[in-house]
A and B are shown apart, each in its own frame.
Chain A
């Protein structure tokens, strides 16, 4: 038996690249955006995002449009659908649901077959998902069988409330609570209808390992948050977690496939 190499002898860079190469072409990004955000000189055309995906071997992503966040949810939905039509199978569209925007539920019901999930951003929509108005809309989201992608930089306090109020709704806590990620894991641990997505500027060693330990590898998702973050950030966090092959497969694409499976069939 060969002795295992010491830390000095192993080439961690080669190991990282080999590991990524093993999963190339299968990875699904559970959190992505197309569209401009001029505050940060981000333009994020579909082609620009897919070019970056190509470098990392990311097969597809679940996208909402930055226009949904910055200007108007329904306008952004038209934008993301256009991008999805131009890049079928690679840009999988999320319906951005602002419950305060007139006609949103009717539009979602009408176009349900076009989307794979629903995105909710409390900061940009200026309403919390646990507000009765929002909960009423999210109840319909659950009835339609969509998972909810919820921006969660609040330690997942809102994700917990929604998941408890609507146990039939799958709630994905985007950003895993942000700086308060430990609180997020504690809040969601016992709620089987929740998952966490790991993208954020918070990149502490041990975050992903803790999420897998607390929730199980079938409730943790790779997401990049392009164009706000380079995919390197989440992939680096995930590959630093020393997960086994099966857990990596779950985190990198199988969980996302399961999450949107019904919606994909509908499409």
Chain B
């Protein structure tokens, strides 16, 4: 089984070196591609990230933070527009409009770090419903969002869940049952989290083989239009 990491990060520093290191570590864990978001200084990091991605396999791509509009036109590696909590509701609308116009997925990060800033899922829900033709990926959800995921998000078929921060016991089985495994995406939050956490969580989730393959790679390939 191969994996696509739907939530990887680069941080301020040497982007080419970080990407090279990420690919080496990913390869050891059978991860063959990733959607990478620049974190902490996203506006400054996006251009060097896209440049560094030019040397990587086509399955490595970027989520462009809302506010870095110029980057959208410079690289086919851009597969999503990312909205972080700091963007607020105005940023969310801007990101959704941008994703819709460019035919990209919208990655909505409820939180990137435990204890850091967060977006309220119920508050963003009306906007998610409004952009029904755009594939939307909720990232950073945890057990606090469980009820919202199974009661509200489940009725929005274009909304998917990236599970790097979703840790509750038997949680992946619950989401697979209520939303469908076709709407779950494997993610690691590398390098913020240790990779074995995400690996153990998926491999011991109790999902069947077909569901595992969908969560590990297939769903992300469809949502982000990843080749290969």
Contact = CB atoms under 8 A, between A and B. Distances in A.
A226 B171 CA distance: 11
B30 A228 contact: no
Most buried by A among B28, B171, B194: B194
For the residues of B in contact with A, the DSSP-based class is helix
B168 A16 contact: no
A228 B200 contact: no
Contacts of B193: 203-205
B150 A13 contact: no
A228 B168 contact: yes
Nearest to B178: A41
B74 interface: no
A204 B143 contact: no
B11 interface: no
B126 to A, nearest CB: 23
Contacts of A203: 114, 193-194, 197
A39 interface: yes
B174 A41 contact: yes
B169 A230 contact: yes
A149 to B, nearest CB: 19
A2 B168 CA distance: 41
Interface residues of B, number: 35
Contacts of A236: 194-201
Interface string B147-191: 100100000000000000101111100100000000000000001
Interface string B191-228: 11111111111011010000000000000000000000
B147 A40 contact: yes
Given A55-B206, A205-B193, A49 B169 contact: yes
Contacts, number: 119
B144 interface: yes
B150 A41 contact: yes
Contact of B147 (A41, A178, A239): A41
Contact of A7 (B28, B199, B206): B28
Interface residues of A, number: 41
A12 B199 CA distance: 10
A154 to B, nearest CB: 12
Contacts of B143: 40, 42, 228
A42 B167 CA distance: 12
A232 B169 CA distance: 9
B51 interface: no
A62 to B, nearest CB: 16
Contacts of B199: 12-13, 16, 232, 236
B71 interface: no
Interface string A45-88: 00011001001100000000000000000000000000000000
Contacts of B142: 201
B28 A230 contact: no
Contacts of A12: 28-29, 195-196, 199
Contacts of A49: 169
A230 B29 contact: no
A90 interface: no
A42 B170 CA distance: 9
B201 A232 contact: yes
Nearest to B201: A232
Interface in A1-58: 7-8, 10-13, 16-17, 20, 39-42, 44, 48-49, 52, 55-56
B205 to A, nearest CB: 8
Interface string B67-109: 0000000000000000000000000000000000000000000
A237 B169 contact: no
Contacts of B167: 201, 228-230, 232-233
A229 to B, nearest CB: 5
A7 B28 CA distance: 6
Interface in B20-46: 24-25, 27-30
A223 interface: no
B120 to A, nearest CB: 16
23 contacts: A8-B27, A12-B196, A12-B199, A16-B199, A20-B200, A40-B144, A41-B150, A42-B169, A52-B169, A52-B170, A56-B200, A179-B114, A200-B114, A203-B197, A204-B192, A224-B169, A228-B167, A229-B169, A230-B169, A230-B171, A235-B200, A237-B196, A240-B195
Interface of A: 7-8, 10-13, 16-17, 20, 39-42, 44, 48-49, 52, 55-56, 178-179, 200-205, 224, 226-233, 235-237, 239-240
